[in-house]
Structure 1
Amino acid sequence: MVTENKAVAGNNGEPEEEEEELVDPQETLKEKCSEKAECQPYKIKLDECTERVNSNPETSENCTQELMDFLHCVDHCVAHDLFKHIK
């Protein structure tokens, strides 16, 4: 996991040992992958569907398939790099 160091002030105002804040690499990779060119067509379709569904409260349509397609693309992208971050 990726860590960020943060200084913590002790009771006497002096900095104590730094605590490490854990950052989940999967979340970071998901953000990057969702912006990649190969996933953009799925994101556009999902956004269009979401807008269409939200604009019509009487519709029975949902965007399940569009969401699944987008998540599949993102997960496929993440899988290529995620295990490089495991220690």
Structure 2
Amino acid sequence: MTLEDKNLYANEDPEEEEEEEDEDEDEEELEDPQDTIRASCSESSECAPLKEEFDNCEERVNSRSQTTEDCTQELFDFLHCADTCVSKELFNHLK
């Protein structure tokens, strides 16, 4: 079965399908405000030290071949800080 046969079988017009694809390309990609806010919160004075602590832990753990240490607590501390910051600002940006 060819592509044309499939389109005819599904009662679809190949030209309409091409037009729909063109419309999708013309639409602007919506940006999630949470991503933008999270990035700024991650660099804030409150969360930056926690991110640095997490990054240092990652480097330390990755530099060792055998270790039982992981950076779970550092990650949780950083994410908690970032999420708290985001929650204060996010709903002001939503419609």
4+ residue runs of structure 1 moved beyond 3 angstroms? none
Answering whether residue 42 of structure 2 is matched by residue 34 of structure 1, we say yes
Between Structure 1 and Structure 2, how many residues are aligned?
Answer: 71
Percent identical among aligned pairs is 58
Structure showing the higher strand proportion among its residues? 1
- Residue type at the aligned position of 2:39: E
Output the aligned Cα RMSD.
1.3
Partners of 1:39 and 1:57 lie apart in 2 by: 29
Q: CA deviation at 1:20?
A: 2.4
- Residue type at the aligned position of 1:43: K
The unaligned stretches of length 5 or more in structure 1 are 1-10, 12-17
Which residue number in structure 1 is paired with residue 59 of structure 2?
Answer: 51
> TM-score normalized by structure 2?
0.70
Structure showing the higher helix proportion among its residues? 2
Between structure 1 and structure 2, the one with the greater Rg is 2
Partners of 1:19 and 1:47 lie apart in 2 by: 38
- Residue type at the aligned position of 1:61: E
- Residue type at the aligned position of 1:31: A
